[in-house]
Structure formats: C-alpha cells, structure tokens
Structure 1
Amino acid sequence: MHTDLWNHALALYARPGVEAACLELQALGGDVCLLLCATWLQVRGVAVREQRVTVLREITEPWQRDVIKPLRCLRQQWQAAAQSDAQLAVLREQVKVLELQAEKALLERLQERSRQWPVGAHEPTDGWLARLAPDQARHHDALVELRVAAAALQDAEDGA
C-alpha cells in the first residue's frame, strides 16, 4: 500500500481509465484531489464520519477556488493560442507545472489533516467516494470506474 496520499494518487491516476474518469468527474463539479483522497482513506480503513467529510471540504474548497482553478483556467485559456505561439506554449507548460504543484500541495494538506484519524476501523470505510463526490456524479459511470480502479490497485498492492 502507498503510505502517502501523493504516491497513492499517482499510482491510481496512472491506471487505465482513471485519468478520463477523473476529468469526467471534474467536469461534473467533482474535486479530483478530494476524490483521490477518498480512495486513499478507504484503502487505509479510515471510518467515514460527517465531521471528517466537512473538514476535508473546508480544506479543499478555498484552495481549489483561490489557487488551482485560476491556474487551470489560465492554462485552458491559452491552449488554442499556444498551438501557434512557441513562447506562449512554454509559459503554458510552466502554468501546468504550477497547477500540478498546487494539486500536490492540496493532497499534502489533506493527508496532514487526516493523519490523526485511526486506520483499520471496524466501522464502514467504503462510503468515502459517495460522500465526497458531487451529487450529480454519485451514480455516474466515471465514479464507478474510479472505485473499480482503486480496488484493483489495492488488490495489486496486496498481492491478490
């Protein structure tokens, strides 16, 4: 099992179909960092509690709004023009790197905040994705894809 959230997120995101599922969930209003955190918490056996869901959202929402989304919007805004402007393409790649660094920082914040939550709970731990996905994504195929990929990653890591 990946012990830190960043490496878990990288391993899961690299699995077939996960990138597309995450982008689809993002288009539906989902926070990909929060959803990747959900899979990590589930793998670690952290019990789902309303207070914990609230804490994670309180960390995520302002960081997404104030840091990640402005970088993503700028990168997307420059996409077409960067096709024919080499200097803008270089700047766009730099913004993309900043966006990734901002996502990593968010995952580190989520990990740090959840560090004291007990692992290996005897309470239900499989509701994290449902609780952290936006309403319109709760029964979407992309969320199922993410759930299946996370289970497959865990099985592979457990040697099953």
Structure 2
Amino acid sequence: MPEPLAPFWPYALDAYARPGVAEACLAAQDGHGADVPLLLWGAWAAARGHTLTEGDLDAAATAAARWRAPVIEPLRQARRALKALAADAPANEALRQAVKAAELEAERLYMASLEQLADGWPAPTPPRPQTLRDNLARLLPPEAAPVTERLHKALS
C-alpha cells in the first residue's frame, strides 16, 4: 500500500502505478462511469483509516461537478480524438501531448480540491482492509462488484 500520510497526489501516482490498479480503474471508468480520481481518493482515505461519510461523498460530488464534466471530460475526448489524428499525421502528436498534459494538470487540480476535504477528517489511524472495501463500494455501483473487488485486491 502506498504511504498513507503522503499528500493525495503523490499517493495517487504511487497507487495508480501498482500492478492491476490502472487496469481496474479504467475498467471502472469505461464500464461503469466511475471517476478515477474519486476512486483513488477513496483509497487514500482508507489508507488514512477514514471511512467515507455521506458528507464526504456530497462534498466530493460538488468538487467533481466543478471539474469532471466541464473540464476533464472534454480534454479526455480531445486527447482520444487526437490519437487517431496523430496516427495519420505525426505532426499532430505535439498537440495530443499538450492536451494530455492539460488533462493531467486538470486532474491534479481536481485532486487537490478532493485533498482539501480531508481537512475536516479525524487524525489518521492505521488502515483496515474493510475500510478500503467499504470506500470503494460507496464510490462504485453494485453492478461493478467484480471491478470493485479487482481494485481492492490491487490496492491492498
């Protein structure tokens, strides 16, 4: 498990690089409309021993509404569209990389807003495996149970 007391962004980068995590996150995103930064935030909360509350989820939904649909999703769509264009014309690759960098920066800023939500949490406590499972289950729909379990296993 990545360092629980690390700030969220370094924690997320470390967690996402673990074997199986990126694949499970993308399966949750593409198959169930999951928000990958929220999933990583839930894992970060669990690593700090924090079970997400309804208040946490409401505050996270507000942060997501500010970033996901108006900023991150259009950048993701543009990056994906440019991938095909870059294959046909290598000169387009520079634009795709610039859009990719903008998408990553937008996600970093979104994740910074999620990290601020932890300011009201109790002091970190040792993580429990059930906390991670509970947080992921609260962030994914019930029909995503197999993906939830894959992600739990990869992050544990």
Aligning the two structures, in what range does the TM-score lie when normalised by the shorter sequence? 0.7 to 0.9
* Matched residue, 2:14: 11
Match of 2:140 among 129, 133, 136: 133
Alignment deviations for residues 97-151 of structure 1 (CA, whole Å, 9 cap, x no partner):
1111111111111001222211328xx73411111123432x12x2212111221
Between the aligned partners of 1:61 and 1:133, the Cα distance in structure 2 is 17
Partners of 1:38 and 1:129 within 8 A in 2: yes
* Matched residue, 2:42: 38
Partners of 1:33 and 1:107 within 8 A in 2: yes
Partners of 2:83 and 2:96 within 8 A in 1: yes
What TM-score do you get using the length of structure 2 for normalisation?
0.87
Query: Which one-letter code corresponds to 1:130 in the other structure?
Result: A
Between the aligned partners of 1:132 and 1:13, the Cα distance in structure 2 is 17
Partners of 2:21 and 2:155 within 8 A in 1: no
Flag the 1:22–1:47 CA change in 2: closer, same or farther, 3 A. closer
Q: Which has the higher contact order (CA 8 A, sep 6+)?
A: 1
Between the aligned partners of 2:141 and 2:72, the Cα distance in structure 1 is 18
* Matched residue, 1:104: 108
Q: Where does 1:4-153 land on structure 2 (aligned, <5 Å)?
A: 4-27=7-30, 28-118=32-122, 119-120=124-125, 125-126=131-132, 127-137=134-144, 139-140=145-146, 142-151=147-156
Partners of 1:9 and 1:36 within 8 A in 2: yes
Task: Give the ranges of 4+ consecutive aligned residues of structure 1 lying more than 4 Å apart after TM superposition.
Answer: none
For structure 1, the 5+ residue unaligned runs are 152-160
- Percent identity at matched positions? 35
Partners of 1:29 and 1:134 within 8 A in 2: no
Query: Which one-letter code corresponds to 2:18 in the other structure?
Result: R
Between the aligned partners of 2:26 and 2:150, the Cα distance in structure 1 is 12
Aligned residues: 149
